[in-house]
Amino acid sequence: MNTNVWKVDKYVDKLESNPHIVDAAHFLRENEVVALPTETVYGLGGNAENDEAVTKIFAAKGRPADNPLIIHIADKVQLDRFVKEVPEKAKNLIDAFWPGPLTIIFNKKEGVLSEKATAGLSTVAVRMPDHPVALALFRECGLPIAAPSANSSGKPSPTTADHVVDDLNGKIAGVLDAGPTGVGVESTVVDCTEEIPVILRPGGVTKEQLEAVVGEVRVDPALTNTEGDARPKAPGMKYRHYAPNAPLYLVSGTREFLQRLVDEKRQEGMRVGVLTTEEHSAEFAADVVLACGQRAELETVAAALYDTLRKFNQVDVDVIFSEMFPTSGVGLAIMNRLQKAAGNKIISE
């Protein structure tokens, strides 16, 4: 399959009439899959109402079929088509954070969406992204769009169109290239089917921000459980994700302790990488030291995280050691992604 790359300026008016968006919408209506930008990461979109289209998403990614997909919409009125009800707390969150990096889980109406898109669950995860190109595409095609991240399953999520092409060239119909994404980590997933909302995946909207709108919000303890046979209720809950090619270890301890680990591996003849921040990058002696944003501004770490993990694949290292980060604010999402990428391998001082 020839994979088209369509460059689109997200700042122009009347994006729905952009010929590249018209072309991409045509492919979606023909049940092909197209990668598209959002404010978090690039997504791999397909018609959420069609089994053939959803099957192509799973095939392109190599994604386990029991891992549900997020349904993307351009207008809140679309919820009425496939959601049983919108609880009051969900309404409040929608008013506060849509469009934006928040996915909400609802009880679904049967017989509308592809069962493959929801992995046979009685619930559905929905979001409205805050990206003009994505919204224009959804309006032009007139469909709810199932869209996981547009990468090979298990690898770091794509924050540029080049990342998408690296993973999926020849496997999908096209990529709408609107430049780098902003947030850098995926949307927060919150389950609103119970009285107290539950975070199933931390992301671009923090627990603190959610609680400012709806009061108490819980964090699902299954976030740290990567084993077992339970069917995941939201993307990213069960399987190893975001991993670079070399083994990644998180280091809990001082920077001096991390340096000792580096020295031990180098003495064994291994090439060693260190994932750190701009503040500390000059303090490590390793074969490759990559700064991932600024520790003082964790939003910059989130924005750079996946690109940094992918850069390690380009520099020939045998093992990677990473600093850890506070779990307040967006730090919860950063550490969730790093723990997934490391397969929960943590070395403590």
Structure confidence by residue, pLDDT tens digits, 277-314: 999 999 999 999 999 999 999 999 999 999 999 999 99
Confidence of residue 233 (pLDDT cuts 50, 70, 90): low
What is the average pLDDT across 5-29? 95
Confidence of residue 185 (pLDDT cuts 50, 70, 90): very high
Q: Which residue has the higher pLDDT, 242 or 146?
A: 146
Rg (CA), the chain: 20
* Residue with tokens 């680990």, as numbered in its chain: 261
Predicted confidence band of residue 227 (pLDDT cuts 50, 70, 90): very low
Sign of CA pseudo-dihedral 157, 71, 220, 130: positive
67-112 pLDDT per residue, tens? 899 999 999 999 999 999 999 999 999 999 999 999 999 999 999 9
β 248-252/272-276 pair status: unpaired
Structure tokens at 305: 């995280």
Instruction: Summarize the confidence of residues 198-217 as an average pLDDT.
Output: 97
What per-residue confidence (pLDDT) applies to 171?
97
Distance CA 308, CA 259 (A): 19
User: Are 54 and 151 within 8 A, CB to CB?
Assistant: no
How would residue 240 be classed by pLDDT, with cut points 50, 70 and 90? low
* Predicted pLDDT at 59: 96
Query: Residue 228 above 50 pLDDT?
Result: no
SS3 content of the chain, % helix, strand, coil (to 5): 35, 20, 50
Distance CA 81, CA 25 (A): 20
> Does this model's pTM top 0.85?
yes
pLDDT of 64 reads: 80
Percent of the chain residues topping a pLDDT of 70: 95
pLDDT of residue 223: 74
Task: Give phi and psi for 162, each to the nearest 5.
Answer: -60, -40
Tokens 């000059």: give the residue: 282
CB-based burial, 154-177: b 16+ in 10 Å, e otherwise: bbbbbbbbbbbbbbbeebbbbbbb
Amino acid sitting at position 288: V
Answer for the pair 106, 85: CB distance below 8 angstroms, yes or no: yes
Give 227 or 42, the one with higher predicted confidence.
Answer: 42
Report the distance separating Cα 117 and Cα 113, nearest Å. Answer: 7
Q: What is the pLDDT of residue 226?
A: 46
- Contacts of residue 332, defined as CB under 8 A and 6 or more positions apart, other chains included, come to 202, 206, 207, 219
Is the pLDDT reported for residue 235 higher than 80? no
State how far the Cα of 282 lies from the Cα of 1, in Å rounded to an integer.
45
Whole-number average pLDDT of the chain:
94
Asked whether the beta carbons of 120 and 233 are under 8 A apart, the reply is: no
Helices marked H in 66-142 — which ranges?
A: 79-82, 88-97, 132-141
Q: Which residue has the tokens 């690039």?
A: 42
More confident residue, 67 or 175: 175
Average pLDDT over residues 60-68: 87
Question: Are residues 107 and 123 in contact, defined by beta-carbon separation less than 8 angstroms?
Answer: yes
